[in-house]
Each structure stands twice: as C-alpha cells, then as structure tokens.
Amino acid sequence: MSTSPRRVLVTGASRGIGRACALELAALGFDVAINFRSRADDAAAVLSAVHEAGGAGQLLPFDVGNRAEAEATLAADVAQRGAFWGVVLNAGVTQDAPFAGLDGAAWDRVLDTNLGGFFNVLRPLVMPMVGLRQGGRIVVMSSVTGLRGNIGQVNYGASKAGLIGAVRSLALELARRRIAVNAVAPGFIETEMLGALPRDEIEKLVPMRRLGQVEEVAALVGFLFGERAAYITGQTLSVDGGLA
C-alpha cells in the first residue's frame, strides 16, 4: 500500500468554512485539493498556508455548478494524481428573496450550484474512490435552513434539504464499501455570507447567544474524516449553538 498522504478535495475552499476545512484536513495529514471558482488569489493564499504549515496540497479550479467542466476537470485530475479518498462538498451560493419575488434565474442558480454540485462533483469521483478499496469519507455542507427553514430562503432551503436526502441515500449505497457519507448543518457562522445582516439581532436568535466560528465547523469535519468516526454514516450533524 502506498505511504503517500490520502487525497481529499474541498470545494469552495478559498474562504470561509471551506478554507477552514482545507487547513484542518491538511493539518491532519491529508493531501488537500483546494477548489475555487473565481477567487484565485484567496485560493492561492490558502495553499500557501497549507505549505507553510508543512502540509501537501494543490489548486483545482472549476465551477461545481457546471457539469461538463466539473466532470472534465476531475477526470483529468484523477488520471494524473489518483483517486480521492475523501471529499468535502462545501461550495454554495445564496440569492435570497421572498418567494413571491423570487425569479427563475435565482432559483436555478442556487439549486444548480448547491444541489446540482452534489451530482456534478461526486458522480465522477465515487467509482475511483471505491476502486481504492480503502474506504473513504464524504462530508456535505448543508445548513440549519435545510432543517428548519428561513424566511426569504426558499431556494436555499430547498437545495440544502435536498442535500440531506441525497446524503442519506448515498450513504446506504456506499456503506458496504466502507465509505461514510454525512452532512454537516451549520447555523449562523461568522463568514462573508452573513453580509450586512445585523449581528446583534442574529445572536439573539441563537441559544448560545453568539455566532459560530468557521474553525468549529471544520473541527467536526476533521473528526468525521478520522478513524473514530468510521461507523458514523447517513447522519446530519448540526453546528448551530442550539438553534435547530
């Protein structure tokens, strides 16, 4: 068996939760492929941080919402570097509006990226992962919105709830291959996605009365990638300060 680090892919890894997950997994000894769509400078900074800490990694740019691009990029990468042992499916977008004012383009963009990305990324990687015969890990970033809903986020909630259903079914399909598939559902985490929302008002909604940190989400992802989590599959684990 090769002694080289196991390869993992983190999508949407140029910032926020994805960045924290990439750094966490690199610190645990994985060779991390850092996916991004448009923030090349930010992604390069993540890779530099990985290397400065003594970890292994490379950049892997593609749009998870573009099926042809994702398939071609991932096929070429696997052919060159070998199959991935693990995937963190983190890339996602929001385009919020009350449902009555939600246009078709906003619905399609959010569903195509958040839910379509599940198929576009994982479909080319599952069989190479199975072929490793080493088990594996897949962690999909859902959201507390997918569990309890949120005003103005019908499209986002639909995409994140859909991911939970997809995780449950894929976990059953891959269980005999020792590939664990789980979802993580963050609540209000201190990232750019919160935008200009009033922090004080948000914190009042959270039983712990604070925003979560990206490192707290990444710590759970790191645990799920560990040997002690090998028997956990098909689950949705919340990191939300008691919100859901």
The answer to whether residue 68 is domain-embedded is yes
pTM of the predicted structure, to 2 decimals: 0.95
What's the burial of 134, exposed, middle or buried (CB within 10 Å: 0-12/13-18/19+)? middle
156 is catalytic: yes
The tens place of each residue's pLDDT in the chain, 244 residues long, gives 446 899 999 999 999 999 999 999 999 999 999 999 989 999 999 999 999 999 999 999 999 999 999 999 999 999 999 999 999 999 999 999 999 999 999 999 999 999 999 999 999 999 999 999 999 999 999 999 999 999 999 999 999 999 999 999 999 999 999 999 999 999 999 988 776 678 888 898 899 999 999 999 999 999 999 999 999 999 999 999 998 7
Q: Which domain holds residue 190?
A: 7-239
Of 100, 91, 225, 217, the residue nearest 159 (C-alpha): 91
The answer to whether residue 2 is domain-embedded is no
The answer to whether residue 31 is domain-embedded is yes
Query: Phi and psi of 233, rounded to 5°?
Result: -155, 150
The answer to whether residue 86 is domain-embedded is yes
- Assign residue 179 the CATH number of its domain: 3.40.50.720
The answer to whether residue 1 is domain-embedded is no
Task: Determine contact, residues 208/189, Cβ cutoff 8 Å.
Answer: no
Provide the number of structural domains found in the chain.
1
The answer to whether residue 180 is domain-embedded is yes
Cα angle 60-65-81, degrees, rounded to a multiple of 5? 25
Catalytic, out of 62, 156, 188, 225: 156
The answer to whether residue 195 is domain-embedded is yes
The answer to whether residue 244 is domain-embedded is no
Q: Which helix (H) or strand (E) holds 59?
A: strand 56-61
